[in-house]
Amino acid sequence: MQLAADELRHRLNPLFQENFTRNGELGAAISVWQNGKLILDLHGGFRDSKRETPWTPDTIVLVWSATKGLASACLLHLLHGRGLELTRRVAEFWPEFAQASKSEITIAQLLSHQAGLCALDDPVDVLDYPAVIAALEKQAPLWPPGAAHGYHARTFGFLVDELVRRLSGNTVSESWRKTFGDPLDLDIWIGLPESEEDRVATTYAARAGGTATPAEFYRDLATPGTLARKTFTSPRGLHAVSAMNNRENRALPIVSFGGIGSASSLAKFYGMLANGGELDGRRFFARETIAQMTTTLASGIDRVFQIPTAFSAGFMKDPPDSSRRLFGPSPLAFGHPGAGGSHAFADPENGISFAYVMNQMEQSLLPNEKSLRLVDAIYR
């Protein structure tokens, strides 16, 4: 399929505006690319709840777990450059990781949330990187690695960051800017420089009331002792959405949920992935690495979310026979959403990428109808 900018704007703009007039959106932006070219950018609303500062084309905002896809891309790029396969064991490069029966965990299992390390027994703080790494090294898997999968909400970023450090000597934050951010001129940061602070939209927690989905997961999330509760509270700290509006916390390179950027840059990055790993005549990924992003490694009932989910090497996929597709109709599509409604994906089959960012969160960890009906309209 080939998208036409005027027709796409005609289809998407009314739906986008309805998000503000009917669906409680505060400030938001969307971006669509195809075949390595920008097709459509839309933005609207406000950066603040007082509705004093309009959302402008250069507004950036917290994208929460959409950061995980960016971090995974850094690791995959590094692995290809070193000639390393996903079947290699994590402990080969991070020897201390082998403790507590983890010596056989592969990079593929780690990236597809199969390692069983979604929660920690040690009560370490999310801001104490060395302590979190030590706790992960001591942690025994919560299920036999490879036998199941469950979303590693907070620990995932630390696992990927440490592996990148062991392989390259650089953090994910440094690798992101060096490998993708600067070369592609992407307005996305994992650890926001002070020079960019004035452009950030304030993020607001979901309003009380409404329906939290998935319901069973949210019940468990509020129940001490459940796997969901343990997963989303370890490492501990920075649980209040408002905490991520503090300058000092925005500056931290929190790989699991700290990325800040624009819809246009997020879609541009996924547009490069959808375009076979190439943009503006420069190749960033080999076709084999793009195939690792499109190939499902884990699928079925998620131990944490308690609904069917699927993952490739660091990216989320639609499970087979999914009743509500998050990433469009193509089985090759992949991406990563963020809590509350942010969403981004690549569709290599059609060369399409999409991103939606916003500052008024909803009670949903997976993309909601504000973005999904826009995705549907792209493929209509």
- The more confidently predicted of residues 321 and 10 is 10
- All domains of the chain in start order, with CATH: 5-378 (3.40.710.10)
Q: Report the C-alpha gap between 123 and 227 in whole angstroms.
A: 15
Averaged pLDDT, 305-316: 96
User: What is residue 322's predicted lDDT score, i.e. its pLDDT?
Assistant: 83
User: What is residue 310's predicted lDDT score, i.e. its pLDDT?
Assistant: 98
Mean pLDDT value across the chain: 96
Q: Report the C-alpha gap between 173 and 161 in whole angstroms.
A: 8
Helix (H, G, I), strand (E, B) or coil at 169: coil
Tokens 């509270």 locate to 233
DSSP conformational letter for 90:
G
Does 289 have pLDDT greater than 70? yes
User: What is residue 216's predicted lDDT score, i.e. its pLDDT?
Assistant: 84
In sequence order, the β-bridge partners of residue 64 are 259
Averaged pLDDT, 119-135: 97
Percentage of residues in the chain with pLDDT exceeding 90?
Answer: 92
Instruction: For 227-248, give the DSSP string.
Output: HHHHHHTSSBS--SGGGGGSHH
pTM of the model: 0.96
The band of 217, judged by pLDDT with boundaries at 50, 70 and 90, is confident
Q: Report the C-alpha gap between 144 and 369 in whole angstroms.
A: 35
| H-state helical runs in 22-65 | none
Half-sphere exposure of 228 (CA within 13 A, CB side): 16
Query: Residue 101 phi/psi, 5° resolution?
Result: 65, 40
DSSP conformational letter for 180:
I
* Residue among 376, 363, 265, 222 at smallest CA distance from 33: 265
* Residue among 325, 298, 295 at smallest CA distance from 310: 298
Averaged pLDDT, 53-74: 98
Give residue-wise pLDDT tens across range 231-268. Answer: 999 999 998 999 999 999 999 999 999 999 999 999 99
User: What is residue 210's predicted lDDT score, i.e. its pLDDT?
Assistant: 65
Distance spanning both ends of the chain, measured CA to CA: 10
User: What is residue 205's predicted lDDT score, i.e. its pLDDT?
Assistant: 94
Both tokens of 16, joined, read: 């986008």
Helix (H, G, I), strand (E, B) or coil at 263: helix
Averaged pLDDT, 264-273: 98
Averaged pLDDT, 272-292: 97
- The more confidently predicted of residues 25 and 364 is 25
* Residue among 336, 351, 368 at smallest CA distance from 157: 336
DSSP conformational letter for 181:
I
Give residue-wise pLDDT tens across range 5-52. Answer: 999 999 999 999 999 999 999 999 999 999 999 999 999 999 999 999
